[in-house]
Amino acid sequence: MQRSAVPRRRADRRSVTPDMATDYDAPRKTEEELKEDSIEELKARRNEKSSGTVDEDETEAAEGFELPGADLSGEEFTVRVLPRQADEFTCTRCFLVHHRSQLAMTDEVGPVCSECAA
């Protein structure tokens, strides 16, 4: 193995300062705007403003919410519920009915599906 004739330079970490990123698209502030953003000015503005909380009744807000193009007020839905079949089981952890192909194990409580066993 040959070593190169050029000596390696070691980086002096103390002399390297990270450059801060500059957002060139941000608008520049004038001296007057910088004064307005001083700590004292911001504290004074905060004390002048009233509380930022809004008292809103959740039920009143929900009454005015409607889905676009969906008037389901006069609709009746009928769903036919089937009893658990012979090749199905109810998971004792999530209480969902699964096909027996999703049976992962049976613990002391009962059958457990593969999703709950994972």
Instruction: Give 89: exposed, middle or buried? Use CB within 10 Å, 0-12, 13-18, 19+.
Output: buried
β partners of residue 89 = 98
| Digitized pLDDT (tens) for each residue of the chain, 118 residues in all | 555 555 555 555 555 556 677 778 877 777 777 766 677 777 777 777 655 556 667 777 767 666 677 777 788 888 898 899 999 999 999 999 999 999 999 999 999 999 999 8
β partners of residue 113 = 103
Helix/strand/coil for 95 = coil
